[in-house]
Structure 1
Amino acid sequence: MTTDSIEQLLIEGVQELYYTEQQLVDSLGTLSEETSIQAASHAFADHREATEQQVQRLEQVFEALGEEPEAREDIVVTAMLDEHRQFSGENDGEVLDRYNMAVGQKTEHYEIAAYGNLASLAEKTGNDEAADLLVETLREEQDALDQLTEASEQFDEQQIASD
């Protein structure tokens, strides 16, 4: 992949995030349904609603950049989704719950890195409106990670107490 400019790198990154968020809307619903840990299930369901809004916010970012919304496959996200489908098809119970929490946290870390980098590129290229929108979503992703981390810690405490 050859990219001619920082502006083009920004646009391609937003296209990949647009793909990512669209894919995660469906995946978060699945995670919520298949996770038996109530706090994690609620965190996934809550973040699904936020992700729907993030898709719309990315459409605003495209507008601020003077571009039409377009999804560009992010092969990292595709691989994570494929891995989850395979794992969840072969496992259940406590193992699947623990795996789902880890996948949720891994995804949030990935999104935090992507949004942080793109917000920085938007600022560097003078696209302040796009930068502000990206930072708004970055904060939501950080909150989602905190919520999943707390659910994971509660799960660990419950497991220790029951042993």
Structure 2
Amino acid sequence: MSVDSTEDLFVEGLQHIYYTEQRLVDALEELESTSSADELKEGFSEHRSETQNHIERLEEVFEAVGQDPDGAEDPVVEGMIEAHEEFVDKDPSDGALDRFNIAAGQKSEHYEIACYGNLTPMAAQLGLDETADLLEQNMREEQNALDELATLGEEFDYGRLEV
């Protein structure tokens, strides 16, 4: 697809965040299953459900712009998933893996916030106010997830890490 207009750029961005959200549903399940701390497991599980809602909202956005929901592979999310797989393969301690999972979650939240932070004003510029509201709602939920992960990171018991 040639990108010649704000609308083209908007649709391309939608395709990337749609792909990202779909991949992160599985990645969040992996983060949950590899975490040992109950509150971390619960947080990843809750955000997985939220992410499924993000996908549904994105499907509404695609419909509003007359496009079929379609994802475009995003190398950024693939790189984050690959980094997690490589770390798990090193057979880290439970504490080290929990801390790594917190950081992995924070990285993905920052990325998603940046994506939504770009798409929301484009939607508004295109006169798609209801669409902008849906995207902003996703962005707010991503920010809340990031805040929760930051709190977990600040409260993390580094004594659980083997030295």
Compute the displacement of 1:39 (Å). 1.9
Compute the displacement of 1:161 (Å). 10
RMSD of aligned alpha carbons: 1.8
Inter-partner Cα distance in structure 2 for 1:110 and 1:78:
12
Compute the displacement of 1:160 (Å). 5.8
Inter-partner Cα distance in structure 2 for 1:153 and 1:42:
17
Q: Tell me the equivalent position of 1:18.
A: 18
Identity over aligned residues, as a percent?
47
CA contact (8 A) 1:40 1:152 kept: no
Inter-partner Cα distance in structure 1 for 2:41 and 2:23:
18
Q: Relative to 1, partners in 2 of residues 1:51 and 1:122: Cα closer, same or farther, differing over 3 Å?
A: same
Inter-partner Cα distance in structure 2 for 1:139 and 1:116:
10
Q: SS at the partner of 1:106?
A: helix
Structure 2's unaligned 5+ residue stretches are: none
Compute the displacement of 1:38 (Å). 2.1
CA contact (8 A) 2:2 2:8 kept: no
Q: SS at the partner of 1:68?
A: coil
Inter-partner Cα distance in structure 1 for 2:158 and 2:7:
48
CA contact (8 A) 1:116 1:138 kept: yes
Q: Tell me the equivalent position of 2:64.
A: 64
Structure 1's unaligned 5+ residue stretches are: none
Residues 6-155 of structure 1 aligned to structure 2 (within 5 Å) = 6-92=6-92, 93-155=94-156
Q: SS at the partner of 1:36?
A: coil
CA contact (8 A) 2:21 2:54 kept: yes
CA contact (8 A) 1:18 1:71 kept: yes
CA contact (8 A) 2:95 2:160 kept: no
Compute the displacement of 1:2 (Å). 4.9
Q: SS at the partner of 2:148?
A: helix
Inter-partner Cα distance in structure 2 for 1:104 and 1:127:
30
Inter-partner Cα distance in structure 1 for 2:27 and 2:118:
24
Deviations 1:93-150 (A, max 9, x none): 2211111100000100010010011001111111112111100100100010011111
Compute the displacement of 1:70 (Å). 0.5
What number of residue pairs does the alignment pair up?
161
Normalised TM-score (structure 1):
0.93
